[in-house]
Amino acid sequence: MEEHKHTNSLIHASSTYLLQHAHNPVNWMEWGDEALDKAKREDKLLLVSIGYSSCHWCHVMEHECFEQEDTAAIMNEHFVCIKIDREERPDIDQIYMDAIQLLTGRGGWPLNVFTLPDGRPLHGGTYFPKPEWERVLQSLAGFYTDKKGEATEFANDLANGIKKLDTFEPVDEGENAMEILKQAVTAWQQNFDLRLGGYNWAPKFPMPNNWEFFLQYHYFFKEPVHKNAVMQTLVKMAEGGINDALAGGFARYSTDSYWKVPHFEKMLYDNAQLMGLYAHAFAVSKNELFHKTVTQIHRFIKTELTAPTGVFYSALDADSEGVEGKFYVWKHSELVDLLKGDEPLFSLYFSIDVYGNWEHGNNILYKTRSDAALEKLTGKSIASIDKIIEKCSLILLAERNKRIHPGLDDKIIVSWNALMIKGYAQAFKVFANPEFLDAAKRSADFILNEMWDQKKLLRIHKNGKSTIPAFAEDYACLCEALLVLYEASGEEKYLQQSHNLLQISIELFYSVDKKLFYFTAQNKPEFITRKTDVNDDVIPSANSIFGRCLLHHSYYFDKPEYVNILDGMIERIQNKIQKFPTGFSNWMQIILQRTLGLYQLIITGPESKSWVQKLHTLYIPNAIITRVQETSQIPLLSDKTIGTQTMIYICKDKVCQLPVGSVEEALEYI
């Protein structure tokens, strides 16, 4: 058993990230009453350090600062030191991220915040090198000792600033959501990089919900620039170094504008959303590269991030053996030894350089030449080239698996699992691969059986235990995932559970006065402020996800009050869309569907399953597609006649047409 010189109270944590710091010489504590009471009792500032297990710069700062006994001595003498896993406690992370952005104009992780003993923030930043960190420690400790009144006044002002961030100005009279949306798109599309994909800056993040929006916007308005931007982005990402060419799965972002050099950590939430996006893009374009990419994501999730129980782990680290990307890159000499006569073609295909196409003589696998160019350069057909590449990839993958793997964050997060359930269900709709549906159902069933008691949802599961009351994000993501899983599987139990979650979410999180959902439940004590999550970032906001659930459930369960709630929510965030359109892509999808309307296609009869499957292979974002196989208790479905002939009912705005007898006839209506 390994001997450790230091062990702090994080040794009792379940979080992978906290356990990584359990043997630091810093006297770390977990967030909670014990730590805050200690700070008040000893009249010391809190030092709150927030990160997550696969965060590269979190590890760097740990090695440079938190593992050093001289630095730790300063921290222990003057501060009560708290470590937080942001993925476990996004509620605390949100508030302190707001504080740092107000103070510095930027944010990120590691997030290091100095606060008064009661938790009100005073100062902070992100990554600090050791000399600067020690200067900040000494300076803040002296400031609090000598100028406590000034420190308290500043913290009060900052806390008030954080509260003001959650105010929502009324929209100007005469403006409507669709006008605002179109103006936002006109400005936003100026940032497209139509050559390399993504936006015309670096680093480049996948931002799958943005491209979902533009795919949907093109469906309604048919402007080619939006479709071209989506397709070019997805091709360049799939061929770039951000996508693991050997095992599948996307890294979190590209550090350059070419999608070449990834920040190598792989997150469940990125891959979950990209699976659905690539499936939808295939439905539009029939580009086989997109089908292949979905299959690769599935292989990665199945191999690397699926627990024996069927739920999904959170992330793979960027580092192995303390070096970022070491697991994924290759020396040219290694490829020569392993691939023999096939190496020249493989190196041509993946832009390999004898001296390395990245740093320290290493090569990242990424494709820069078109299929036509490869055929011309090699004299081979692309089919024969692909066979050689596949053979070489299997050889390299077997060799790579002998290396020391990146660290795994094996905690189960409800919201991230829900995103993966949704991604698998969306992919199943398009490709009808039973493995996709099985993966979605296994995770959903585990969460419903182990982390939800019909009244309360828990956010985290690890080591056989479920902990931490779930936040609005968890309820919203699971509500939507079960909705999509119902549409994919036809099993009404998932729709009923989704509706149950929505009803309870309204009780726990919805504010009649604010007309939005809070991030924390009403029975939780307020800390500085009760945040309202509206910005669609890498993961869409809880409020916008609830918006889609409200809209769909209003049709299924004949609940006009849900639409009234949604309309109030849209009215509240319209001004924010005008100021920051890139942060509201999920909202804008919902505005399109709410304004232009959703058809309901309800299929009955003996061939209903195959007809639904046929419709699901098409991209129809303005329709809810479902089937009735036996008498249903769902209001939308309960009065539909089930006969010996397969029929499609087409409804919109509470009016149903006479049923039609073919998929083709139904498509003519929409």
| DSSP characters over 158-204 | HHHHHHHTT--PPPPTT--HHHHHHHHHHHHGGGB-TTTSSBSSSSB
The domain segmentation of the chain, as residue ranges, is 9-164, 177-321+409-596, 328-402, 599-669
Among the residue ranges 328-332, 432-436, 446-450, 651-655, the one predicted with the least confidence is 651-655
Which pLDDT does position 559 carry in this prediction?
96
pLDDT-above-90 percentage for the chain: 89
Distance CA 474, CA 418 (A): 8
Q: Are the C-beta atoms of 310 and 302 separated by less than 8 Å? A: no
Q: Find residue 266's DSSP bridge partners.
A: 316
Helix (H, G, I), strand (E, B) or coil at 273: helix
What CATH class has 177-321+409-596?
mainly alpha
pLDDT-above-70 percentage for the chain: 99
Report pLDDT digits (tens) over 118-130. Answer: 999 999 999 999 9
Which pLDDT does position 380 carry in this prediction?
96
Distance CA 42, CA 176 (A): 55
Examine the pLDDT at 218 and tell me if it is beyond 60: yes
Taking residues 508-517, report their average pLDDT.
95
- Spell 68-83 as b/e; 16+ CB within 10 A means b: beebbebbbebbbbbb
The CATH number of 9-164 is 3.40.30.10
| DSSP characters over 528-578 | SB--------SS--HHHHHHHHHHHHHHHTT-HHHHHHHHHHHHHHHHHHH
pTM of the model: 0.95
Question: What is the 3-class SS of 284-305, one letter each residue?
Answer: HHCCHHHHHHHHHHHHHHHHHC
Helix (H, G, I), strand (E, B) or coil at 230: helix
| DSSP characters over 418-465 | HHHHHHHHHHHHHH--HHHHHHHHHHHHHHHHHSB-SS-BEEEEETTE
Taking residues 484-499, report their average pLDDT.
97
Of 583, 599, 456, 608, nearest in space to 523 by CA = 456
Which pLDDT does position 173 carry in this prediction?
63
DSSP-derived secondary structure letter, 309: T
Q: Are strands 121-125 and 111-115 parallel, antiparallel or unpaired?
A: antiparallel
CATH fold of 599-669: Glutaredoxin (3.40.30)
Distance CA 55, CA 63 (A): 13
Please count the CA atoms within 13 angstroms of the CA of 16 that sit on its side-chain side: 22
**Binning pLDDT at 50, 70 and 90, where does residue 166 land?**
confident
Sign of CA dihedral 232, 265, 426, 433: positive
Examine the pLDDT at 656 and tell me if it is beyond 90: no
How long a stretch of residues is the chain?
Answer: 670
DSSP-derived secondary structure letter, 278: H
Examine the pLDDT at 622 and tell me if it is beyond 70: yes
Taking residues 431-457, report their average pLDDT.
96
Examine the pLDDT at 317 and tell me if it is beyond 80: yes
Taking residues 120-147, report their average pLDDT.
95
Q: Are the C-beta atoms of 369 and 377 separated by less than 8 Å? A: yes
Taking residues 124-138, report their average pLDDT.
96
Retrieve residue 655's tokens. Answer: 């009016």
| DSSP characters over 83-119 | EEETTT-HHHHHHHHHHHHHHHS---SSEEEEE-TTS
Cis bond before residue 203 (omega within 30° of 0):
yes
Helix (H, G, I), strand (E, B) or coil at 116: coil
Taking residues 589-614, report their average pLDDT.
95
Using CA atoms in the order 37, 38, 43, 44, what is the torsion angle rounded to 10 degrees? -120
Non-local CB neighbours of 172 within 8 Å, separated by 6+ positions: 575
**Binning pLDDT at 50, 70 and 90, where does residue 174 land?**
low
Among the residue ranges 162-176, 184-198, 356-370, the one predicted with the least confidence is 162-176
DSSP-derived secondary structure letter, 660: B
Examine the pLDDT at 280 and tell me if it is beyond 70: yes
**Binning pLDDT at 50, 70 and 90, where does residue 259 land?**
very high
Examine the pLDDT at 454 and tell me if it is beyond 90: no
Helix (H) or strand (E) holding 389: helix 382-400
Sign of CA dihedral 542, 544, 545, 550: positive
Q: Are the C-beta atoms of 317 and 265 separated by less than 8 Å? A: yes
Examine the pLDDT at 1 and tell me if it is beyond 80: no
Examine the pLDDT at 641 and tell me if it is beyond 80: no
Three-point CA angle 206, 445, 454, nearest 5°? 105
Q: Are the C-beta atoms of 653 and 317 separated by less than 8 Å? A: no
The alpha-carbon radius of gyration of the chain (Å, integer) is: 26
Examine the pLDDT at 437 and tell me if it is beyond 70: yes
Of 370, 249, 253, nearest in space to 312 by CA = 249
Mean pLDDT over each residue of the chain, to the nearest integer: 95
User: Nearest 5°: phi and psi at 554?
Assistant: -65, -35
Report pLDDT digits (tens) over 40-81. Answer: 999 999 999 999 988 888 999 999 999 999 999 999 999 999
Retrieve residue 112's tokens. Answer: 């290091």
Q: Do domains 9-164 and 177-321+409-596 have the same CATH topology?
A: no
